[in-house]
A and B are shown apart, each in its own frame.
Chain A
Amino acid sequence: MASAEKNTNKKKTAKRETAESMAQKQREISVSEFFLKNRHLLGFDSPRKALLTAVKEAVDNALDACEEAGILPEISVDIAQTGASRFLINVTDNGPGIVKAQIPKIFGKLLYGSKFHRLRMSRGQQGIGISAAGMYGQLTTGNSTVVLSKTRSQKHAHRMEVQLDTASNKPTILKEEEVEWLPAFYPAPGEGKETAPVVSHHGTSVSIEMEAAYVRGRLSVDEYVKQCAIVNPHLEIHYRISLLKSADEQNGDSESPWTTFRRVVKTVPEPPQEIKPHPHGVELGMLMKMLKDSAARNVCSALAHDFSRISSSTAHEICERAQISPKARPSTIAHRESEALFKAIQETKLMRPPTDCLSPIGEEQLTAGLKKEVEADFYTAITRKPSVYRGNPFQVEVAMAYARPGASEYLGGDDPVRVLRFANRVPLLYMAGACAITRAVSGVNWRAYGLNQPKGGLPVGPLLVSVHIASVWVPFTSESKEAIAHYPEIVREITFGLQECGRQLSVFLSRKKRAAEAERKRNYMEQYIPHLALGLRNVLDLDDKQEKKVIASLHSMLEHTHLQI
């Protein structure tokens, strides 16, 4: 008892914090520090995933830059193992290049970018990706991100070694110089003959060394690059990964040969249009911020200018409903009034947001991309009409490739179908189970289209299902952009797309089945027709000519009634 009492006494004497002492410990958390501690949010939670994420961010940026500049993208991804668990990643593009002053900020500062503030369909969204990759490399190896870039007008290229100051989220330039621009692409030799390297006069090349791991398979960089080529048929991408060889196989060249995924479409996708936010997709906080930042003189014109689908008469109607003077200055709208305004907006019937801002891949190009990378017997694709979730326009595209069972190694007949998920032309590899696309695929009744399907699961068969969602703002479940959130509108659109393709597939499958059945019957009958003729010949003493006539007649007689497809 006594000792217990002592213990409680001791606890009582433990030092209590005061408001002052606590204040000493309270300080600002930099965004960089936050993400450093929560690296999984950005896709760097495992060495294997880190490698993929870094490549993915660099390629996304390269593609976005090329397309914005109207350049047919040519990209090389060169990965070399530099240590047991270290890799040097280099991604080079033939894009427009980056102005010298912007390089440090783009690669050495989190949340810096051109895409966050615009409602426009693009691969990158937040401006975190590539700088986070650099930060991760810096953290795990101490090495800087090395950027080489040349614009069309520059004579030489800039070379910069950039680091990120995690405390202040500011870039530090370690080294800066002007160098000769050398990058060239080395296409894999096609049809036995060497292909000359392709030289571009502008572009950007990023090198990051980081702790990572490489494992082959469905979650690998290999798969990512392949899927990139599928969904971007206008992209020519060169890829190689060189692994360190073990001691006993040290001799010889340690560099692997390049693999080239060819371009089959020679036009750059139409650049998507930027749109203003649709009022129904804006939350109260955002509304207040927009009113505060508005350049308009009164509420009415602020509504009409800063949002899509609000005319000045609709703006008046909203103000009237919210009982706010249309003449009020937007920045003076108080909290209470903005709530009323928000409610009024929600109650007002508005046109759906414009959907011409989306740039879908298109049925033809979807099929072209699949055809060049996936060998199959049947392809189909469908681009759905644009739709809207929470005020954001989006568009679903579905493509399918079906191989004869046993004909393809990539599409196994006894495995669940391969589901390729794309958001704004970016392949999503991880977290398939949490994704709206996977849910939609599992939710469709595939038996109706001639496939096996375990209850509530993915169908089974040598089938590839590719689903692309294009949107000005793709709702991911996390910042690492791996899975699409389950908005009912989105799941429904995907389901419709899948069903539409499924019907095409079932037509193909049943036709195939009938053809196979007819073929089997024909072979069966052809085995016996000559015997029937021979029997007749032997009984009736027919000659060769008569026997041949009997066979021909039997063929047409039986095929006519039994082999109609």
Chain B
Amino acid sequence: MTKKQAPEIVSRKAASKKISDTAQAIYNDIMKGTKKPSMQFPVRSLANVKYDVKQGYFKLLGKRVTRTLSYTTVKTFAQSMRLLATTKNDLLDRDDIAGKREVYYNSKSWGECRFDEQPESDALLDDMEAMLGINREQLGYIPEERGGDVTGALTVIDKDPATGDPIKINCAKLGTGAWSIPSRVEHLEFQTKAKFILVVETSSLFQRLVHHRYYENANCILISMSGVPTRACRRFIRRLSDDQKLPVLAFTDGDPYGYCNIYRTLKAGSGQAAHINEFFCVPNVRYLGVTPQDIIDYNLEDATHPLEEVDIKRAKDALKNDPFIRHHREWQQALEQMLKMGVRIEQQAFAKHGLNFVLDTYLPQKIKKGKFLP
């Protein structure tokens, strides 16, 4: 069992030092007085990534933004500096953690410098991790969103937070419930005999698969994402897949959001967090469905909904700008087919042919066929 940790995992001490170095550079500029201090970050958008086919994820291009101290940036600058100080002194040096919302409330003691709304502090957190090149989990920030649910033939070996003793969790013996992926997954170890991982979008479908013990028949690990997968979820799937050499299949709603946001982010990462995509992506995931062709193949035309304005825009935008879609001819064809049909379909639509049609017929047929979208 090769234990492959994310490269460039930095220690708290190293992260703390990086913050000090950044502050020192700014301090030097201020004291010299010849040059205005500035902060630099990579541009965080799809326009600044390229799809690295060999590695299978979005890589940052060189575009950087420089925030130079000025009348317009002085507030952000001050907030960033106070945020850096809090991160270093209260989190890293004290080995503590904080949620994004806690950061926002913590700023309420900063007087004029406080954040008025949480999106402001969220944005600065993103800026900070991009500037330092250290992801925020490593800086001590924990995400508030649920990481995802896991059930199936998998034993996760976690550690007791207090003693460090190993704790074994058998995900096949959780009854009607599931195991929640924690926000930090680097320390986890796995034992499994499953043949593949099935990642599904909606928790209602996940419930159905759990209820009927689908994972036993199919000998797989089931993971529910509940929408766009969180970083922890992505990292967990990646580690599990790498560690146990398991193929990954994704099953989402058949709409542009399911294709371009959920699946694409799972597979290649996002433009927003391109600086950390390297770790937070699952390049070997393949797309099972629901594809536009499935609508025809499974006679589901009357179980669809017309595409809405926002769907059409999303699809057209992806065809034009998304480096991942633009690289894969099959995805372009799928999106074009969807636009031509003018409809979208939900995972639950298979209930038209009976509630368990999806696990009795659809999934086995698709898996047997083995024809997936890249």
Where the two chains meet, the residues of A that have a C-beta atom closer than 8 Å to any C-beta of B are 521, 524-525, 527-529, 531-532, 534-540, 542, 549-550, 553-554, 556-558, 561-562
Contacts and interface: CB of A to CB of B under 8 A. Distances in A.
Contact of A558 (B26, B71, B84, B112): B71
B74 to A, nearest CB: 5
B111 interface: yes
B74 A558 contact: yes
A535 B85 contact: yes
A553 B78 contact: no
Contacts of B82: 531, 534-535, 538
B69 A558 contact: yes
Interface residues of B, number: 31
Contact of A540 (B24, B36, B71, B79): B24
Nearest to B82: A535
A563 to B, nearest CB: 8
A562 B72 CA distance: 10
Nearest to B75: A528
Interface string B21-57: 0011011001101001000000000000000000000
Given A531-B112, A539-B19, A540-B20, A550 B30 contact: yes
A524 B76 CA distance: 12
A537 B78 CA distance: 12
The 3 closest A-B pairs by CB, nearest first: A535-B81, A538-B85, A531-B78
B81 A521 contact: no
A542 B28 CA distance: 12
Nearest to A525: B74
A527 B112 CA distance: 7
A12 B348 CA distance: 109
A529 B74 contact: yes
20 contacts: A524-B75, A525-B74, A527-B112, A528-B74, A528-B77, A531-B79, A531-B110, A532-B69, A535-B23, A535-B81, A535-B83, A536-B26, A538-B89, A539-B20, A539-B23, A540-B27, A553-B30, A557-B69, A558-B69, A558-B74
Given A529-B74, A538-B89, A550 B81 contact: no
A556 B33 contact: yes
Nearest to B89: A538
B71 A525 contact: yes
Nearest to B36: A557
A521 B110 CA distance: 20
A562 B71 contact: yes
B81 A532 contact: yes
B78 A550 contact: no
Contacts of B112: 527-528, 531
Quick one: which of A529, A536, A554, A556 has the most chain B CB within 10 A?
A536
Given A539-B19, A539-B23, A540-B24, A529 B78 contact: yes
B233 to A, nearest CB: 33
Contacts of B86: 538
Nearest to A561: B70
A534 B111 CA distance: 12
Interface of B: 19-20, 23-24, 26-27, 30-31, 33, 36, 69-71, 74-75, 77-86, 88-89, 110-113
A540 B17 CA distance: 10
Nearest to A539: B23
A546 B30 CA distance: 11
Given A524-B71, A531-B111, A539 B88 contact: yes
Contacts of B80: 535
Which of B23, B33, B74, B88 has the most chain A CB atoms inside 10 A of its CB? B74
Contacts of B71: 521, 524-525, 558, 562
B89 to A, nearest CB: 6
Contacts of B74: 524-525, 528-529, 532, 558
Contacts of A534: 81-82, 85
Which of A521, A524, A531, A553 counts the most chain B CB atoms within 10 A? A531
Nearest to B110: A531
B70 A550 contact: no
A406 B46 CA distance: 51
Nearest to A551: B30
Nearest to A553: B30
A9 B82 CA distance: 111
Contacts of B26: 536
Contacts of A537: 85
B88 A532 contact: no
B81 A536 contact: yes
A562 B74 CA distance: 12
Given A528-B74, A535-B82, A539-B84, A550 B27 contact: yes
A553 B20 contact: no
B33 A531 contact: no
A514 to B, nearest CB: 14
A529 B20 CA distance: 19
A164 B167 CA distance: 123
B171 to A, nearest CB: 43
A553 B83 CA distance: 22
A325 to B, nearest CB: 86
B85 A539 contact: yes
Contacts of A532: 69, 74, 77-78, 81
Contacts of A556: 33
A525 B19 CA distance: 24
B113 A536 contact: no
A396 B23 CA distance: 66
A261 to B, nearest CB: 48
Nearest to A521: B71
B35 to A, nearest CB: 10
